Structure 1
Amino acid sequence: MRIVITNAVLSNAGDGAIFESIVHAIRRVNNGGRAEIVVFDGNEKNTSLLYPQFDIRQQYIVPTSNRKIVKRLTQLRRYAMLLFLAYVPLSQRVAKLVMRVASGPLSQMVKVYSEADIVISSGGTYLVDHYRFTPRVWELILAKKLSGGRLVLWTQSMGPFDSVVKRLSMRSLARRVDNAYFRDERSLRAWNRISHRSSADTDILPDSVFGLRTFAQRINEELRIDFVGEILVSVREWHQGLNGERLDFEQYSSAILECVQVVRSLNFEPVAVSTCQGVDGYSVDDSDTASQILSGQGVVILDGHYSPEALIDLIKHARFVITTRMHMAILALICQVPVFAVAYENKTIDLFRGLGLEKFVVEIEHFDDKWVRNNFPGIVQDIQSSVLASSVLSDLERRAILPARDLA
């Protein structure tokens, strides 16, 4: 069986954990069978070094030129080609002709999708209005046309599709999807609004990273650093509240500093580390944001890349985690390490509310010095209550791998 996983973002260890959870789930359901897996990622040059065991290809919609004008013009040209190929009749004979006459990246994409039995669009948060996702939709439509096999949207947050263009593109995609899985009711409602002509099987399931729980339990490697961070702090740059209004980043930064002071007053040592850092060619580096916020505060800031396995190792040796990145929170949850989260998108609020952990999450627009002084010390005192019972985690793991069972 040949499986193509597309829309992977392996430069981000949170999305890397999603990818690994998909692979683990597929192999677990197939009793260790090794399906042939090809991955499309936007930073193949560097992520192929992080994941040398996988066949990673550069995603067609993400050109690699270092010159901004060339990159933008190439991107627009590829968008036009995708739009054309996605919506014109395209037989296997025509596809083979495209492979013969097209340039390298286009030919490679067509060849890979044409040979796929199953195409999986990786789990995550990219089919949301905050991002320009229509080219990804066109690529998925083309992938379905070329492969003729199943098209699966792994566990997603999506919507609300307020713009006409996004609604139309998603309606077109929905008609071609065989299975679609969602993290929350909000995303399912968004899907239902645009999928009237879709016959896709749908379900609401836990984030796929919960499927790594057994894997995380087995990680017991030597620490990759010379010390143990008692409190891990994950930050990110963000400028919009959940309410859609512009966010004062200085307010967020000051609140993080206030949390660090609370932690220090309890004689804990904070260490800054996050899921998005230390990878060349990736536009986001949370260690830069940590330096901007915490420089001069005596906080150790780890600036290298940490794989999902390395983060799990660090988390398992921490007392608790303060995080803005949702998958840093999920990794803490599956390790049964206490966690407090600042939610910059609805997905984190939905996650914590669904688990009955409302006390341990705050919307980013409400997260300021006053909120920290009034609430955070009490949260720290009760932080052990954020640890999920083993029975709860077992059920989350069981349900998180259900998409793979549906493929069998």
Structure 2
Amino acid sequence: MLILIENTVCLNAGDAAIMLAIIRILRRTFGEQSEFVVFDSNPEVAARYYPDIKFRPLTTPLTAAPSMSLPLIGKRMARRIRRKIGGLKKREFLRLLNSAKNNNGSVGWSPLLTKQTRENIALYAKADLVVSTGGTYLVEHYDLSTRFEEFEKDLTLDKPLVLFTQSLGPFNKPENQRRVKSIVDQVRVALLRDEKSENNLRAIGVEHDRLKVISDSVFAFADMERLSKRQRSERSEKLRVAVSVRDWAHFDGLSPQEGMARYKSAVSQAISELVKTRNAEVTFLSTCQGIPEYHYDDSIVAQAIADGLDAETRKSVSVDSGFYGPDALLKKVTDFDFVISTRMHMAILSLCAGVPVLPISYEFKTTELYQGLSQSQWVTDISHIEPVSFTQRVLDFTEHLDEFYQAAAPRIREQSASAWSAGPLIQASLSSQPTHVTVGAKPIKQAS
């Protein structure tokens, strides 16, 4: 069975964890002989870090018109020429898609599209299943155009398309509402991480019963042996704490500069109090670090916070800026008594390792996650974080680590079982055939 996974960003170790979890879940369902190809935003670099995975570039960006500099004709004319070339390439791309669909996968040749593009189309034409990776990329503060084009390519080829565990929406823009509804109406199954995402789809008119709310795929990494009983650190003289931070620009009611300043101040004050009052040893560690080619590096934010600490506190604080793949990170976090995490998949991997996690939520996905664990009292919204109250919450958490663990561990085991249920749900969906329609959804005003 040939299974294609698309829309990945595997330079982010959290996204890589999703990709690896999808492969593990689907191998269990469809057999060890299943073949996987991953279509990634930066496949050459990703292949260096995950050499056992077959990576290829996303398909539709390959059809974009090249940038050009034509000083003799001026910028306006150059833009017109580029748009014209882009239109010709997209029409040629559609022609090859239809050729592959109608001629048993035969793509043919094109003077406008590269060999790499034609090879991608041929792979899609042969695929038994297309899976769009899990995550939070169908939200309106990101550009959705490439995602839509990838989905529309899959549906043009009549491929069974599955959306793996997503947090998505809300969709306020009429064009996004129309295109999302059209796509989701045609997928075999849309796996969602939370009821809020389901509600966001219902709000734009999605009515079918192929929306399934299950746990994030990364819970498939759960270490059941460690979760069976509390694993306390042998280094009892120091409270060992890992802290995951990140850059963020989407604060409610605050500029990115104001929001980041307050966020970093709150984390800094909490760390200082942990060192001074709890004899803590703190290590900054996160899922997005250690890959120079990736445009995010959480260790830069970590270093800035560490550098702002007083000299005495700084002696007990380190910044680990190295790269860790998901399995290595899962092992690494077991060195700590608890984790303060902004990155959601840093939180999930730590929970899977049986390590208590105090979350900072920058999108609703983390809030929904902790509601599912019945631990929402520990969530801090990044847009409303305050140094004094957050520091007190951190200190309170140190007094409730065992209580948190006892309450959360059964829920984590349930989350893991739910994550593995994705395989049978997808398998069952392949026996159904959704109606292929072009939907012109009436714009619906939706609160953000």
- TM-score where L is the length of structure 2: 0.80
1:282 pairs, out of 268, 291, 294, with 294
Q: Which residue of 1 aligns with 2:148?
A: 137
Identity of aligned residues (%): 30
Matched, 1:324 2:342: yes
- Corresponding residue to 2:332 among 295, 299, 314: 314
Deviations 1:203-239 (A, max 9, x none): 1111111111148959xxxxxxxxx992111000012
- Aligned pairs (5 A) from 1:17-96: 17-30=17-30, 33-61=32-60, 81=89, 85=93, 90-91=98-99, 92-93=101-102
Contact 2:192 2:198 in 1 (8 A): yes
Structure 1 segment 133-282 matched on structure 2, within 5 A = 133-146=144-157, 148-196=158-206, 199=208, 201-214=210-223, 230-241=240-251, 243=252, 245-247=254-256, 248=258, 249-265=260-276, 266-282=278-294
* Paired position in structure 2 for 1:399: 418
Encode CA deviations 1:229-286: one digit per residue, 9 max, x unaligned: 9211100001223x46535211011111011112212111101111011113211111
Whose RCO is larger (CA < 8 A, sep 6+)? Answer: 2
Matches of 1:291 and 1:118 in 2, distance apart?
Answer: 43
Deviations 1:148-174 (A, max 9, x none): 331000010001111112112212212
> What is the CA–CA distance in structure 1 between the aligned matches of 2:210 and 2:88, rounded to whole Å?
31
Tell me the number of residue pairs that the alignment of Structure 1 and Structure 2 aligns: 392
In 1: Cα distance, 2:308 partner to 2:326 partner: 28
Structure 1's 96 and 114: CA in aligned 2 closer, same or farther, altered over 3 A? Answer: closer
Counterpart secondary structure, 2:280: coil
Inter-CA distance 87–207: structure 2 relative to 1 (3 Å threshold): farther
What is the CA deviation profile of residues 356-379 of structure 1, one whole-angstrom value per residue up to 9, with x for unaligned ones? Answer: 111221001221212224433222
Closer/same/farther in 2, CA of residues 178 and 81 from structure 1, 3 Å limit: farther
Residue 127 of structure 1 aligns to a residue whose secondary structure is coil
What do you get for the CA RMSD once the two structures are aligned?
Answer: 3.1
Q: Distance in 2 between matches of 1:75 and 1:284?
A: 30
- Provide closer, same or farther for how the CA distance between residues 89 and 104 of structure 1 changes in structure 2, counting only shifts above 3 A: closer
* Corresponding position: 1:14 with 2:24: no
Output the amino acid matched with 1:288. I
Name the residue aligned to 1:221.
none
Residues 61 and 75, structure 1, Cα contact 8 Å, conserved in 2: no
Given that 2:167 and 2:194 are in contact with CA atoms closer than 8 Å, whether structure 1 keeps it comes out as: yes
Flag the structure with larger Rg.
Answer: 2
**Contact 1:178 / 1:200 at 8 angstroms: preserved in 2?**
no
Which amino acid letter does the alignment assign opposite residue 285 of structure 1?
A: D
Query: Per-residue CA shift, 1:278-311, capped at 9, x if unaligned?
Result: 1132111111111122126432111121101111
| CA deviation after TM superposition for structure 1 residue 136, in Å | 1.0
Which SS does the other structure have where 2:167 is aligned? Answer: strand
Query: Is the 8 Å Cα contact of residues 234 and 324 (structure 1) preserved in structure 2?
Result: yes
Residue 312 (structure 1) shift: 0.7
Check the 8 A contact 1:119/1:144 in 2, yes or no: no
- Greater shift, 51-60 or 113-122, is seen at 51-60
How big is the shift at 1:89?
Answer: 8.4
Q: Residue 139 of structure 2 aligns with which residue?
A: 128
Q: TM-score, normalised by structure 1?
A: 0.87
Distance 1:75 1:157 in 2: 35
Shift of 1:97: 6.8
CA distance in 1, matches of 2:14, 2:389: 27
CA distance in 2, matches of 1:9, 1:390: 29
Q: 1:303 to 1:89 in 2, by over 3 A?
A: closer
Residue 353 (structure 2) aligns with: 335
Secondary structure at the aligned position of 2:136 is classed as strand
Give, in whole Å, the separation in 1 of the partners of 2:239 and 2:327.
Answer: 16
Could you tell me which residue of structure 2 aligns to residue 225 of structure 1?
none
| Change over 3 Å in CA distance of 1:370–1:68 after alignment to 2 | farther
**Alignment partner of 1:119: what SS?**
strand
Query: Is 96-105 or 299-308 further displaced after alignment?
Result: 96-105
**How far has the Cα of 1:199 moved from its partner?**
4.7
Once residues 100 and 88 of structure 1 are traced to their aligned partners in structure 2, the CA distance between those partners, rounded to angstroms, is 8
SS of the residue aligned with 1:371? helix
